[in-house]
Structure 1
Amino acid sequence: MELSQTLAQEIVERAMRILPGNVNVMDASGLIIGSGDPARLFTRHAGARQVIAEGRAVALDAVAAARLAGAQAGINLPLYRAGELVGVLGVSGADAEHLRLPAELLRLTAEMLIEQAAGQPPVTSRMTAPLLRQLLTPGAAPEVGRHASLLGLRPELPRDVLLLEFAVPAPGFGDWAQQRLTHSWCLPRKEGQWLWYRPGAQAPEALLGELPGQGWSLQRSAWIPEARPWSGLAETTQRALDLLTVARRLRPDLVRVAQDDLALPTWLQGQAERSHGAWLLEPLLRLRQADRDGQLLATLRSWFAQDASPQACAEALGLHRNGLRHRLERIQALTGRDPRRFAEAADLYCALLLLDQDWANSQS
């Protein structure tokens, strides 16, 4: 495919809406056929010719640009369609490395326009996945959101997060999900897992009920119903991952789990690697050090599993109630917290969740 001058100029005009510097688009021979500087049209671009020769992005600082006739500092990236190099995108600027991210994002836009001009609908997942990953990075730069708007991704729409884990990989799920819900985003995370960002934050039961009919076997889903624009999705994505981890450990019987089902353990999961939680763990670490056979920790787990019922806990452990009382008193003596008193039991319960999470992390 040959890159037309009309298309090249359209790419330039779109790019210059959000970038302060000049933008050039060159054809596969290095000829400038679109530019924000009319004086540069139909001249040879030295940086582009290097890109074409080497098949990679080329950044030029002021010193390197001075050695090439007519070149300016900036970054130049190859444009591809179906694996074929069809042109080069050049963005001028003194700090080439600073321009790399916005230039890469502009390249996505340009390649999508090239696909459309060739009469082929762009492969949405291939075109947008790199940009979505940038959007979902904590602390993503504002220009990433502007590029998403340029591609029509509607980053300003509040979206919830639905994390799905399939029994076997579901490679067609992403295309189905994006067609099923307009303006939703879908990203594969790892084998068998998909992140689905849905505008509207409706309960997912009806959609999940459609999966077997598509031939997909859902193993577990984790839903964070709080809908947020793109700038808040990195946080809710992490919460969905924490919720899935907690559900596997504490409620393996649940296939469809929502944040409210395990709100406190999910929050604690997010705190597990933060040093400021050490004060909460300290009493249980003393207990674990003294509890060489693990008897007292097992008793504490059973106590909470049986909702602090002395009779039920004693039966679950095969103990007389006096034997259970003796163990609870030892736990109180070692930790300084009485599991029979609500406020102190809450401390022990949260600490136990953190302790078990530390153990799970050490085994993974």
Structure 2
Amino acid sequence: MELSQTLAQEIVERAMRILPGNVNVMDASGLIIGSGDPARLFTRHAGARQVIAEGRAVALDATAAARLAGAQPGINLPLYRQGELVGVLGVTGEDAEQLRLPTELLRLTAEMLIEQATGQAPATTCMTVPLLRQLLAPGAAPELGRHANLLGLQPALPRDVLLLEFTAPAPGFGDWAQQRVTHSWCLPRGEGQWLWYRPGAEAPDALLEELPGQGWSLGRSAWIPAPRPWTGLAETTQRAVDLLAVARRLRPDLIRVTLDDLALPTWLQGQAECARGAWLLEPLARLRRADRDGQLLATLRSWFAQDASPQACAEALGLHRNGLRHRLERIQALTGRDPRRFADAAELYCALLLWDQGWANSQS
């Protein structure tokens, strides 16, 4: 395939809306066929010829550029179409390394435009996954949103997060999902998992009912219904991951989980990396050290499982109510928290959830 001058200039014009330096597009022989500097059109680009010869990105600082006729400092990246090198993208600038990320994103845009121009655009999921991974990472740079706009991804459009876990691989799910819900994004995550970001935040039940008909078997789903623009999706994505992990452990009977089902345990799961929450576990750690046979910890678990009902808890443990009262008093003496008082019980309950999530071991 030969890269046309018209397409090359379109790539340049799009790029120069967001990049401060000059942009050049070269064909597969190194000839500049698109440029923000008309004087450079139809001249040979020495950096591009090096890219073509070596098949890799070439960054030139001022010293390296001075050794090449007509070259300027910047970075040059190969452009591919279905594995074939069809051209080179170059961005001028003194700090080539600082230009690397925006130029890599620009290359993604350029390659998509090339595919679209030939009428053989690859699957949407394959085209957008590299950008989506960067867009949805915590602390993503603002220029990522501008590049997403260039691709028509509408990053400012609020989207919810639906995390799907399949019992077997679900090939083709990403493309189906993006076609099924307009302007949605889909991203594979781990073994058999997909993240689906949907505008509108409608309950996903009707969509989930369609999955078996497509040949996909859903194991579990976790839905965070609060829609947010791209700058807030890293946080809600983590919340969906936490919700799925909590549901798998605490409510294995739930297949379609929403945040309302397990809001507090999910929030606590999100605190697992926060050392400031260590104080919450101190009373439970004292109990654990003194409770050599695990009897008191089991009593506390049963107490919460039976909604703090003395009669139900005693029956579940096979105890007389006086025996249960004696154990609760020992728990109070060791922890300084009375499970029969609401405020103290709330602290112990949260601590127990964190403990069961392995948080204590991660801090030791």
Other-structure match for 2:320: 320
Aligned equivalent of 1:114: 114
Give the secondary structure class of the aligned counterpart of 2:221: strand
Question: Hey, what does 2:157 align to over in structure 1?
Answer: 157
Is 2:354 the partner of 1:354?
A: yes
TM-score by length of 1: 0.98
Partner of 2:25: 25
In the TM superposition, what is the alpha-carbon distance from 1:122 to its structure 2 partner? Answer: 3.4
Deviations 1:156-183 (A, max 9, x none): 1000000000011102110110000000
Aligned-partner Cα distance in 1 for 2:104–2:341: 58
Counterparts of residues 71-86 of structure 1 (less than 5 Å): 71-86=71-86
- Whole-Å separation in 2 of the counterparts to 1:307 and 1:20: 62
Higher mean displacement: 84-93 or 315-324: 315-324
Helix, strand or coil at the partner of 1:191: coil
Give the residue type in structure 2 aligned to 1:212. P
The alpha-carbon deviation at position 123 of structure 1 amounts to 2.2
Q: State the match for 1:259 in structure 2.
A: 259
- The answer for the alignment partner of 1:168 in structure 2 is 168
More displaced, 349-358 or 314-323? 314-323
> Secondary structure at 2:344's aligned position in 1?
helix
My pick for the range that moved more, 268-277 or 112-121, is 112-121
Contact 2:354 2:360 survives alignment (8 Å):
no
Letter in 2 for 1:288: R
Equivalent position SS for 1:221: strand
The answer for the alignment partner of 2:193 in structure 1 is 193
- Pairwise CA RMSD: 1.1
Match of 1:339 in 2: 339
Residue 233 of structure 2 corresponds to: 233
Matches within 5 A, 1:292-311: 292-311=292-311
Aligned residue for 1:210?
210
Structure 1 residues 186, 206: closer, same or farther in 2, change over 3 A? Answer: same
Deviations for 1:211-270, whole angstroms, at most 9, x for unmatched residues?
111111111000000000000000000000000011011101000000011111100000
Aligned residue for 1:188, secondary structure, equals strand
Residue 99 (1) aligns with residue 112 (2): no
How far is 1:320 from its partner? Answer: 1.7
Give the aligned partner of residue 47 of structure 2.
47
Quote the Cα distance in structure 1 between the aligned partners of 2:93 and 2:78: 17
Q: 1 CA distance for matches of 2:360 and 2:207?
A: 32
Letter of the 1:320 counterpart: H
Q: What secondary structure sits across from 2:3 in the alignment?
A: coil
1:33: how far off?
0.7
TM-score for the superposition, normalised by structure 2: 0.98
C-alpha separation in 2, matches of 1:228 and 1:217: 28
Q: Distance in 2 between matches of 1:130 and 1:121?
A: 16
> 1:89 aligns to what SS in structure 2?
strand
Q: Show structure 1 runs of 4+ deviating over 4 A.
A: 359-362
What amino acid does structure 2 have at the position aligned with 1:133? Answer: R
Instruction: Count residues with an aligned counterpart.
Output: 362
The letter for the 2-side match of 1:38 is: P
Deviation at 1:41, TM superposition (A): 0.8
- Structure 2 residues not aligned, in runs of 5+: none
| Partner residue in 2 for 1:143 | 143
CA–CA distance in 2 between the matches of 1:213 and 1:191?
A: 21
Cα distance in structure 1, aligned partners of 2:288 and 2:257:
31
Pair 361,281 (structure 1): closer, same or farther in 2 beyond 3 Å: closer
Cα deviation digits, residues 262-311 of structure 1 (max 9, x gap): 11110000001210000111110111111111111111111111111111
**How much has 1:359 moved relative to structure 2?**
5.8
C-alpha distance in structure 2 between counterparts of 1:293 and 1:140, whole Å: 49
Deviations 1:196-217 (A, max 9, x none): 0000000111111111111111
Shift in Å, 1:43? 1.0
Quickly say closer, same or farther: Cα 1:329–1:138, change in 2 above 3 A.
same
Instruction: Provide structure 1 residue ranges, at least 5 long, that are not aligned to the other structure.
Output: none
Specify whether residues 82 and 51 from structure 1 end up closer, same or farther in structure 2 by C-alpha distance, changes over 3 A only. same
Which residue of the partner structure matches residue 37 of structure 1? 37
1:19-49 superposed Cα distances (whole Å, 9 cap, x missing partner): 1110000111111111000111111111111
**1-structure distance, mates of 2:361, 2:337:** 26
Measure how far apart 1:361 and its partner are. 7.4
Structure 2 residue matching 1:254: 3-state secondary structure? coil
